[in-house]
Chains A and B, each alone.
Chain A
């Protein structure tokens, strides 16, 4: 259906752009880390442990954002049998999973000094763990199902069902009493993070997005080479 794209041309661009994305990622990450670890102020309440936020929050955003994209593309895969979409979503999943794990681990490290516990079964944390499990199911479904057509179908179903969890994660802190605090950045209304802390947060988010792009391109190129050289996974 979508063979408008010339895959050869796409591969030409995607294989060449890896090194530029890598250089850009290193630059942005260096700026982001200096900003967030040295230049940004400490918090009035949490002092230096607030710096975990600059890793925790962007990682959680990336995990949610990437899953939303995967779910959207899976919709296209499932309904229109578009295999270019499934190639993209398959290549996006690893970095989303990595960021989900990073968000859980940094949250745990942050929770100990501030809340006084490593882990709590509150709605936000548990729903984030469920998202990690959906990522795992999605990634494993590609591995264990050898028939390409069924792998396509089942993995996209997993992504679509998992997407129901996304609004639950977002609104869990509003719907229920949770140990996790409410949102600081709101779609409507003022943010409750001081501007001197928003800037490093934004730079770190950009760095993480570039990292996702980098991993995505590498994975995508690998898939393309596999298709080209062996005629495997033919589109």
Chain B
């Protein structure tokens, strides 16, 4: 009885360890594909400019958004590097300066990205508008 229990524990340990190790290896080698978007720094460090559709994410730089007719240009920054993004179409409600954004599209060169889709990334802060105003006054 006790021996069987020990064998079952050993079996479970081996099973769990092997799964964790293989998962770790898989995720490690797929790092590039597990991330939902690349940061401007990642773009800068790319060895070659990818032709296929990619996503770039970061903060919309303060006072960088310019809209003429239906074309919108802005700068995505991760506070180390930045990249110019241009897009035509409508943007989600949460899109604004100093907020997170993920742009899906094609890289033209290391500093220019042509987006075909814009997703807003919201942060983990939740508060009523009055509190935000009070915080803003500080």
Find the residue from B35, B127, B131 having the highest chain A CB count within 10 A. Answer: B127
Residues of B within 8 A of A113 (CB): 92-93
Is A143 among interface residues, defined by CB-CB distance under 8 A? no
Complex: chain A residue closest to B4, CB-CB: A81
Residues of B within 8 A of A80 (CB): 5
Q: From residue B138, how far is it (CB to closest CB) to chain A in Å?
A: 15
Find the residue from B9, B92, B130 having the highest chain A CB count within 10 A. Answer: B92
Interface code B101-138, partner A: CB below 8 Å = 1, 0 otherwise? Answer: 01000000000000001111111111111111000000
A179 B36 Cβ-Cβ under 8 A = yes
Find the residue from B5, B35, B124 having the highest chain A CB count within 10 A. Answer: B124
Find the residue from A75, A78, A79 having the highest chain B CB count within 10 A. Answer: A79
Residue of B20, B38, B117, B121 touching A181 (CB-CB under 8 A) = B121
Q: How far is the CA of A46 from the CA of B123 in the complex (A)?
A: 11
Interface code A142-171, partner B: CB below 8 Å = 1, 0 otherwise? Answer: 000000000000000100110010001000
Residue of B35, B92, B130 touching A114 (CB-CB under 8 A) = B92
Residues of B within 8 A of A123 (CB): 34-36
Q: From residue A54, how far is it (CB to closest CB) to chain B in Å?
A: 11
Interface members, chain A 165-196 (any B CB < 8 Å): 168, 176-179, 181-184, 192-194, 196
Q: How far is the CA of A17 from the CA of B91 in the complex (A)?
A: 52
A79 B35 Cβ-Cβ under 8 A = no
Is A42 among interface residues, defined by CB-CB distance under 8 A? yes
Residues of B within 8 A of A8 (CB): none
B126 A197 Cβ-Cβ under 8 A = yes
Q: How far is the CA of A164 from the CA of B100 in the complex (A)?
A: 30
Residue of A44, A116, A184 touching B131 (CB-CB under 8 A) = A44
Is A68 among interface residues, defined by CB-CB distance under 8 A? no
B127 A197 Cβ-Cβ under 8 A = yes
Q: How far is the CA of A117 from the CA of B118 in the complex (A)?
A: 9
A44 B129 Cβ-Cβ under 8 A = yes
- Chain A residues in the interface with B (C-beta under 8 A): 41-46, 50, 53, 75, 78-80, 113-117, 120-123, 157, 160-161, 164, 168, 176-179, 181-184, 192-194, 196-197
- Chain B residues in the interface with A (C-beta under 8 A): 5, 8-9, 12, 15-16, 19-20, 23, 31, 34-39, 57, 91-95, 99-100, 102, 117-132
23 contacts between A and B (CB under 8 A): A41-B129, A44-B128, A44-B131, A44-B132, A50-B126, A80-B5, A114-B93, A115-B92, A115-B119, A157-B15, A160-B12, A160-B16, A161-B16, A164-B20, A176-B35, A177-B39, A181-B100, A184-B125, A192-B123, A192-B126, A193-B126, A194-B127, A197-B128
